[in-house]
Amino acid sequence: MKAAVLHEIGGVPRYEDFPDPVPGEGEVLIDVKAVAVENVDKAIAAGTHYTSAGFTGRLPAIPAFDGVGALPDGTLVGFGNPRLPYGALAQRTVVPAGSYAPVPEDVDPAVVTVLASAITGMAIRTAAGFVPGETVLVQGATGVAGRLAVQVARLLGAGRIVATGRDDTQLREVRELGADAVINTAVPDDVLARAFADARGDGYDVVLDYLWGRPTEVLLGTLVPESFGFGRPTRIVQVGESAAPALNLPADALRTSGVEIYGAAKGLDAATMGEAYGQVVAWTRAGELVFGVERVPLSGIETAWQRTDLKGRRLVVLP
């Protein structure tokens, strides 16, 4: 079969022949239909992700650990946990029985691979207890997940949505998706702080943070009261770290600000995940979510893997 094959940590997968997987006892063969290539896949291949050793301990290997494919009886499923070295970026892979679940057959498989990115936007409700009418700030709204989060906040009934990013053209596109105000973070700290303060209105109720690092440090500084009093509660949901993996957190940023910080997995269990997934699928079927997808054939993986021009579109490989 053909596959994207990684020969060295930090290398670029190459399109080439690879032995066909043979399912063993308790395993199922998957005919791969679509695979979204995300930052985590590249970080694992580069050896910079904390799970890298588990995926790259045996090379050559095929990257990516989930996707959409068909079972031997033709049922379309989302799958994960392929047996190494068989990752998802191949014509076929093999997974443990049960490491898959049916997906909507009336939704484009390429779009199905991006549904998980939309579900991160649901963390404003599952992790932060969002209620309609609240003000939501999406940090990093020009990325794939951030754009979807703006739309999810709108669909859930946010009273006001503020979105941040580093590119004015993309921020204009985010406005068209439902943001009421946008902030360019590629400015000096004092200018960014004023922008956060000017855009917050009565205050930010929920912050969905895909950035962390400097932009969030500046934001936290603006949430500290200037006089004694009770700070307005702001629930920050930590989702990603595209700006930096760490930040400086002064004591007063928590002590008097009313800030509460949650991880995106807070409140998630099988029931809440199923509910979030069902809601995202319903919006998708109704055409209420706009997905930016860049489809490429598996044969083009070497060039596609190195692309830096996607600008809010998810790279989806079609074997």
What is d(CA 163, CA 154) in angstroms, rounded to the nearest whole number? 12
Do 108 and 129 lie in one domain? The reply is: no
Domain shared by 103 and 122, yes or no: no
Residue 187 covered by a domain: yes
Residues 251 and 154 in one domain: yes
CB crowding 167-176: b at 16 or more within 10 Å, else e: eeebbebbbe
Asked whether the bond before 13 is cis by omega within 30 degrees of 0, the reply is no
Question: Residue 77, Cβ neighbours under 10 Å: how many?
Answer: 20
Q: Dig out the tokens for 25 from the structure.
A: 């006892």
Q: Are residues 207 and 253 in the same domain?
A: yes
Q: Please name the residue ranges forming H helices in the chain.
A: 39-46, 52-56, 109-112, 115-121, 123-126, 144-156, 168-176, 189-199, 213-222, 252-255, 270-285, 301-305
103 shares a domain with 138: no
DSSP 19: P
Quote the tokens at residue 250: 């002064």
Number of domains into which the chain is organized: 2
Measured CA to CA in angstroms, residue 254 lies from 155, 236, 258 at distances of 30, 11, 6
Residue 220 lies in a domain: yes
Please report whether residue 28 resides in a domain. yes
In angstroms, rounded to a whole number, what is the distance separating the alpha carbons of residues 122 and 116? 10
Place of tokens 């997968």: 13
Which pLDDT score is estimated for 261?
A: 96
Per-residue pLDDT of the chain (319 residues; tens, 9 = 90+): 999 999 999 999 999 999 999 999 999 999 999 999 998 899 999 998 888 888 888 899 999 999 999 999 999 999 999 999 999 999 999 999 989 999 998 999 999 999 999 999 999 999 999 999 999 999 999 999 999 999 999 999 999 999 999 999 999 999 999 999 999 999 999 999 999 999 999 899 999 999 999 999 999 999 988 766 666 789 999 999 999 999 999 888 888 888 999 999 999 998 999 999 999 999 999 999 999 999 999 999 999 999 999 999 999 999 9
* pLDDT value at residue 252: 83
Residues 232 and 124 in one domain: yes
Domain end position, chosen among 248, 263, 278: 263
Is the peptide bond prior to 60 cis by the omega test (within 30 degrees of 0)?
Answer: yes
Structure confidence at residue 229 (pLDDT): 61
- Looking at residue 132, which CATH number applies to its domain? 3.40.50.720
**Is residue 144 in a domain?**
yes
Distance between CA atoms of residues 137 and 232, nearest Å: 15
Per-residue b or e along 185-198, where b marks 16 or more CB atoms closer than 10 Å to that residue's CB: beeeeeebeebbee
Which amino acid would we find at residue 56?
Answer: T
- Residue 299 has what DSSP assignment? G
Structure tokens that stand for 143 in this block: 């990325």
Are both 39 and 100 inside the same structural domain? yes
Same domain, yes or no: 67 and 78: yes
Residue 271 lies in a domain: no
For the chain, the helix, strand and coil percentages under 3-state DSSP, each to the nearest 5: 30, 25, 45
Query: Among 263, 282, 307, where does a domain finish?
Result: 263
Please tell me the pTM assigned to this model.
0.91
Q: What is the pLDDT of residue 293?
A: 96
Count the neighbouring beta carbons within 10 Å of the beta carbon of residue 97.
10
Same domain, 165 and 61: no
DSSP for residue 210: S
Same domain, 90 and 46: yes
Both 237 and 126 in a single domain?
Answer: yes
Whether 109 and 239 share a structural domain: no
Residue 312 belongs to what domain range? 2-114+291-318
Note whether residue 284 is domain-resident.
Answer: no
Q: What CATH number does residue 71 fall under?
A: 3.90.180.10
Instruction: Give the CA distances from residue 114 to residues 32, 93, 207, in Å, rounded to whole numbers and listed in that order.
Output: 15, 20, 22
Within-domain flag for 230: yes
The C-alpha atoms of residue 16 and residue 66 are separated, in whole angstroms, by 20
